[in-house]
Amino acid sequence: MADRKTKVSSLTNNALDDRYKRRQSQLFRELEVLLDLTPSTLSSNLLALPRELRDQIFHHALPPPTPNRPELLTCLWGADMSPQDPWRHDVFGYSPSVPKPARLPPNLLLINRQIRDEVLQIYFRRSKLTLHAELRNTRRTPTSFDYTPHILKLPMLAHISHVRLYVEWNYTAVKKDAKPARLADQAHMTHALLRSMDDILGPLRAVQTIELSVLFFWKYRSGKLYSLSMLDLFDLEDVLKQHAEQRWLACLRTTANKTAGTEMAPAVGYKLSSEIQGAEQSGGMEIFVSRNLEDAMLGRRKSNVDFYGNYKISDPLPEPKYRVGGMI
């Protein structure tokens, strides 16, 4: 009886092994077929259509365009965000003014990567996009303003119309230096700032407004704080007017839907903040470069720069995110 049970068990195991081998062989054959297929064979019917037709289909699937374009915001791209870190470049958020019906349906982004990219490009083109980024120099390298290279990989770069830059401006003052020497140093640092801004603004093709929130951290060699007076800030403003304004204005793009004689002349505006007793910084400055300067400055009537080395960012910026599996 025991021998019979052993034989039955052995036969059962052999049958399972044969079935497993046949199933494994079938899977290998199916895999070979898949590997022989061309990408066009695997693509969907939608992706087989010409790009122009796909764009028309996506236009109908997206929220209809409105006179007031939905305001989109990037995350704050800090100067210390290493290029080696796997940050996602497609992260964006909505201004509270954007109603839910005008927001992008998330299910459209889950079909596949190509459709996601094409849908995002259409939606970005319809929107008012604001880039938030940080520029920073140090007291050791005052003529080099660093930024994260991740900015140059953002898929929405071509459609960004507003740029908000947060600038940390460090400087070591020498007590015996005369005013002309200090102003010459500021001119050198201004040109360094312009070089970094050129790197960021160069790929942008739709910029209408640029805002700079500048925090000054100036100290003597002893480490004592150099307090910027209003006269110092006026001198700095003159340096920027002389060396930077024309470059900034040249970065602004003409609007595609302008009417002859109706487009406003671009201009630059300044808002200065001197040091407050007991503060941790020397002073601050907000700079506005825009084709509609009044509107650009209207939303910044209250200071968005505090005196403790922080920026008062009133916009609800999205949090930066890592790519899935990027940290493994």
The phi, psi pair for 92, rounded to 5°, reads -150, 160
- Structural domain contains residue 323: no
Q: Are residues 232 and 272 in the same domain?
A: yes
Task: Give me the number of domains the chain comprises.
Answer: 2
Q: Are residues 23 and 156 in the same domain?
A: no
- Structural domain contains residue 311: no
State the pLDDT at residue 298.
81
State the pLDDT at residue 312.
64
Residue 325, phi-psi category: left (phi > 0), alpha (psi -120 to 50), beta (remainder): left
Q: Are residues 14 and 80 in the same domain?
A: no
Find the DSSP H helices in 215-320: 230-243, 245-251, 293-298
- CA distances for 320 relative to 103, 132, 242, 280, angstroms: 20, 12, 37, 28
DSSP-derived letter for residue 236 is H
Q: Are residues 128 and 209 in the same domain?
A: yes
Q: Helix or strand or coil: residue 178?
A: coil
State the pLDDT at residue 168.
95
- Structural domain contains residue 328: no
Q: Are residues 105 and 210 in the same domain?
A: yes
pTM here is: 0.81
Condensed to tens digits (0 to 9), the pLDDT of residues 152-171 reads 999 999 999 999 999 999 99
pLDDT band at 4 (very low <50, low <70, confident <90, very high): low
- Structural domain contains residue 306: no
Longest CA–CA separation in the chain, Å:
110
- Structural domain contains residue 43: no
- Structural domain contains residue 175: yes
- Structural domain contains residue 230: yes
Domain that holds residue 62: 56-298
Q: Are residues 15 and 68 in the same domain?
A: no
Q: Are residues 237 and 99 in the same domain?
A: yes
DSSP-derived letter for residue 310 is -
Q: Are residues 198 and 237 in the same domain?
A: yes
Are 300 and 212 within 8 A, CB to CB? no
Condensed to tens digits (0 to 9), the pLDDT of residues 15-68 reads 656 665 666 666 556 655 555 555 555 556 888 889 999 999 988 889 998 888
